[in-house]
Structure 1
Amino acid sequence: MTITARIPTRRHGNFPLFERFPNARRVFLTLLISLCLAASTQAQDVRDTLTVGYVDVPPLAFQGDDGRAEGVFIELTRRVAEEAGYDLDFQYLPVSRAYFYLRTGGIDIWPGVTGVPALENEVLESFVSPLPFQLSAWGMEDVPSISHFSDLNNKTLILISGYTYGGLAARLESTPGITVTEAPNHEAAVAMLKRGRGDYLLDYQDPVRAVLKEFPVRGIREYPVRTRNAAWIFSLANPKSSQLRDEFDDAYLRLAARGEVPEPRTLSKGFLLPGLPELP
């Protein structure tokens, strides 16, 4: 008698587990879909990180005692970036290094000012301007007031080391009859002015007022020189610079519409001291 062994044939697509447990297919598919959705959600939660360079302009931007970026403009930058869907990595830099990194792509954004000659054709400026930057001349009450650029002739001006003042520093240094001396920071500059180390201090309004609030100086007077526009400056070395600018502008406008940030300013040349050399 011949005994023939019958070997089961496995057909393509046949899953015995699903045949024995009819609900297993539904459970498997549900689990698979859940895993795909979780992976998709996790991918969406991973956001791009932008490198932000900032310089010392307290109280608008400065490095806190713990090394964290602080200041009014810094907090605005954080809020706008959050609204636009980006994380930020802040780098505290000297002004000249910030300019270099913008040209070379070392940073993506600088919360700064428009019309910097050293950055011409190297950056994109946001259309939104959240704040003004006022440049002023500060003098003691025993020196003449300033109403025209010619009033600076035969005077010594104290400037902050590393600041270009939108190209004005170079003009002043090359102007006959004007002597320029430098201070390492805003506090030292005010102290130099108080001690008579210069006739006038040329500096931005907010940093000097912050110093004077902490260390009052009697008899100091302020004379406006130039108003500039604060803006977010995007490095053209980043291929997404145009997209980033649009996203930041749109994010700011949404926040402003909700009353969470100041209304955007109307960009203009603002105040300019009569007789001041033509600048961007």
Structure 2
Amino acid sequence: MKFAELEIMNSRAKLSSGFREVRFTVRFCAWVTMALLAIAASSSVAEPTGDRRVLTIAYNEFPPFAHHTESGEASGEIIEVTRKVVEEAGYEPEFLFLPISRIYLYLKNGTVDAWPGLTNIPQLEGEVLESWAQPLTVQLSAWYLEGNPPLNHFDDLQGKTVIVIGGYTYAGMIQWLRESGQILVTEAPNHRAAIDMLKRRRGDYVLDYRAPVREILTEPSDSVVRESEVRSRTAAWLFSLANPRAAILREEFDDAYLRLVQRGELPAIYPNSHGYVIPGFPEAYR
């Protein structure tokens, strides 16, 4: 009997231990399941729906509209407008300073969400959605020295040396200029250097945008510099089509911009038009 009682007691102990192991296993599995569900829920917000609360906004050196400060911050007119619109739309902007060629690449592959840039850029056709809101107009001009002929027709560039800003694509037109066979293109590292090269007669015209050039025309000798209008373009927010929420972001930006305009916090929207174009301007880049 003692042996039998001992066997029964052992069996009960094993059974009790088995129950404890089962309870532990069930609790552990339940904990793991809850943890996995929490992770999945978190991932479903950040990844599948693309509902990020931080937007990566590209920008390039284009003073006074956009520039990189010495402290590494994004600054400028379009930067501040973009910051207001992004925050009004319920997001947090993360500005990323890039050369223009890298901006095109990152818009195509979705590394950045948006860029405040020129509309109707051939290299970005089919790669971006442009906002309906167009917060500013950008004027491209041909700068020349007093006493020399102004640029009245784009064909007047033939046989001339044109100074351009290194890294600028001029909405894709730089390639056309280089391949024309009738125009000699030379680069300057920045706007100030381009004007100085013009004054040294190292070129006949500087092809550059009005706002950044007028900002640096501060030296007494700059008074001999004259301007011919070439092309006016509107700027908008360009959203990467690699982002599945591009259309939603565009709608949110447009709505946010309109609310800010209605409250008097931002200027009215510029009309959606191609603006002024000098006679003879290449048809593909109008």
Assess same fold via TM > 0.5. yes
TM range (shorter): 0.7 to 0.9
Q: 1:192: how far off? A: 1.2
For 2:192 and 2:223, the matched residues in 1 are separated by 15
Instruction: Tell me, yes or no, if structure 1 residue 194 matches structure 2 residue 207.
Output: no
Q: What corresponds to 2:234 in structure 1?
A: 229
1:115 match: secondary structure: coil
1:264 match: secondary structure: coil
For 2:64 and 2:221, the matched residues in 1 are separated by 16
Instruction: Tell me, yes or no, if structure 1 residue 270 matches structure 2 residue 275.
Output: yes
Q: What corresponds to 2:111 in structure 1?
A: 106
For 2:58 and 2:66, the matched residues in 1 are separated by 10
Q: What corresponds to 2:246 in structure 1?
A: 241
Question: Deviations 1:72-128 (Å, cap 9, x if unpaired)?
Answer: 000000011111111011111000001000001111110111011111100000011
Cα 1:49–1:216 shift into 2, 3 Å: farther
2:223 match: secondary structure: coil
Q: What corresponds to 2:37 in structure 1?
A: none
For 1:150 and 1:61, the matched residues in 2 are separated by 31
Question: Deviations 1:146-176 (Å, cap 9, x if unpaired)?
Answer: 1111211211000111211112211111223
Question: Deviations 1:200-237 (Å, cap 9, x if unpaired)?
Answer: 00011111111114786121001000011110010011
For 1:142 and 1:124, the matched residues in 2 are separated by 44
Q: What corresponds to 1:74 in structure 2?
A: 79
For 2:80 and 2:214, the matched residues in 1 are separated by 20
Q: What corresponds to 1:14 in structure 2?
A: none
Q: Which moved more, 1:68-77 or 1:158-167?
A: 158-167
Q: CA RMSD in A?
A: 1.6
Cα 1:192–1:85 shift into 2, 3 Å: same
Q: Which of residues 94, 101, 109 is equivalent to 1:96?
A: 101
For 2:209 and 2:93, the matched residues in 1 are separated by 26
1:217 match: secondary structure: helix
For 1:133 and 1:266, the matched residues in 2 are separated by 13
Q: 1:47: how far off? A: 6.8
Cα 1:213–1:249 shift into 2, 3 Å: farther
Q: 1:240: how far off? A: 0.7
- Alignment length (residue pairs): 236
TM-score by length of 1: 0.81
Contact 1:47–1:85, Cα closer than 8 Å, also in 2: no
More helix by share: 2
Q: 1:142: how far off? A: 2.7
Q: Which moved more, 1:63-72 or 1:169-178?
A: 169-178
Instruction: Tell me, yes or no, if structure 1 residue 124 matches structure 2 residue 129.
Output: yes
Question: Deviations 1:10-63 (Å, cap 9, x if unpaired)?
Answer: xxxxxxxxxxxxxxxxxxxxxxxxxxxxxxxxx9xx970000110111000000
Cα 1:145–1:231 shift into 2, 3 Å: same
Question: Deviations 1:224-256 (Å, cap 9, x if unpaired)?
Answer: 000111100100111111100000000000110
Give the 4+ runs in structure 1 shifted more than 2 A: 213-216
Unaligned runs of 5+ in 1: 1-42
Instruction: Tell me, yes or no, if structure 1 residue 176 matches structure 2 residue 181.
Output: yes
Instruction: Tell me, yes or no, if structure 1 residue 155 matches structure 2 residue 155.
Output: no
Q: What corresponds to 2:92 in structure 1?
A: 87
Contact 1:128–1:265, Cα closer than 8 Å, also in 2: yes
Unaligned runs of 5+ in 2: 1-44, 46-50
